[in-house]
């Protein structure tokens, strides 16, 4: 299963379009502008549309909701805890993810740690690719999810 999700971070000027916002920052940072040192310490909450192709304006099939935090000073890396929430005719339920995202790598793997509804008890690995990155306001991730159920 391949999906895309789209993150537009609040920067003080885009309240209407923003899908995410900084809610934690180190002592030397603030919650409007991403901090120096590769954004180390910036914690972001997001509610991002999920689409089937790479077009932000395609119909959303669900929402990616949760947190990411930039966690290294010398290079961009992040740690993610979030869910894909589906409520469409095609999919109903959620997939839960956690893991490290060394986001300068072309691809990187995080864990599917559980699922509900159509994705009951799912486990697996999701491969992330940064499909687009525009300044410090917008990025789009391609997510290739491989599920392996194990409970049967």
- Site for a second copy contains 43 (CB under 8 A): yes
**Sign of the C-alpha dihedral, residues 25, 27, 33, 36?**
negative
Residue 38 falls in which region: left (phi positive, over 0), alpha (psi -120 to 50) or beta: left
- Site for a second copy contains 115 (CB under 8 A): yes
- Site for a second copy contains 137 (CB under 8 A): no
- Site for a second copy contains 76 (CB under 8 A): no
Given 1, 52, 60, 125, the residue binding a second copy (CB under 8 A): 125
Strands (E), 1-135: 2-8, 20-24, 43-51, 62-70, 78-87, 92-101, 107-117, 124-134
Tokens 């290079």 found at: 75
What residues make contact with a second copy under the rule CB under 8 A? 10, 12, 21-27, 30-32, 40-43, 45-47, 63, 65-67, 69-73, 77, 79, 81-83, 85, 93-94, 96, 98-100, 102, 109-117, 120-121, 123-125, 148, 150-151
């Amino acid at each position: 299963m391949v999906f895309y999700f789209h993150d537009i971070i609040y920067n003080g000027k885009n309240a209407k379009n923003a899908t995410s916002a900084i809610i934690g920052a180190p002592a030397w940072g603030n919650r409007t502008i991403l901090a120096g040192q590769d954004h180390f310490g910036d914690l972001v909450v997001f509610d991002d549309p999920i689409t089937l192709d790479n077009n932000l304006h395609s119909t959303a099939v669900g929402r990616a909701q949760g947190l990411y935090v930039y966690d290294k000073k010398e290079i961009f890396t992040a740690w993610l805890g979030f869910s894909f929430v589906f409520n469409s005719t095609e999919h109903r339920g959620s997939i839960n993810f956690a893991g490290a995202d060394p986001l300068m790598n072309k691809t990187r793997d995080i864990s599917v740690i559980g699922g509900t509804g159509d994705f009951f008890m799912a486990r697996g690995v999701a491969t992330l690719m940064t499909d687009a990155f525009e300044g410090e306001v917008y990025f789009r991730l391609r997510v290739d999810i491989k599920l392996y159920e194990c409970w049967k």
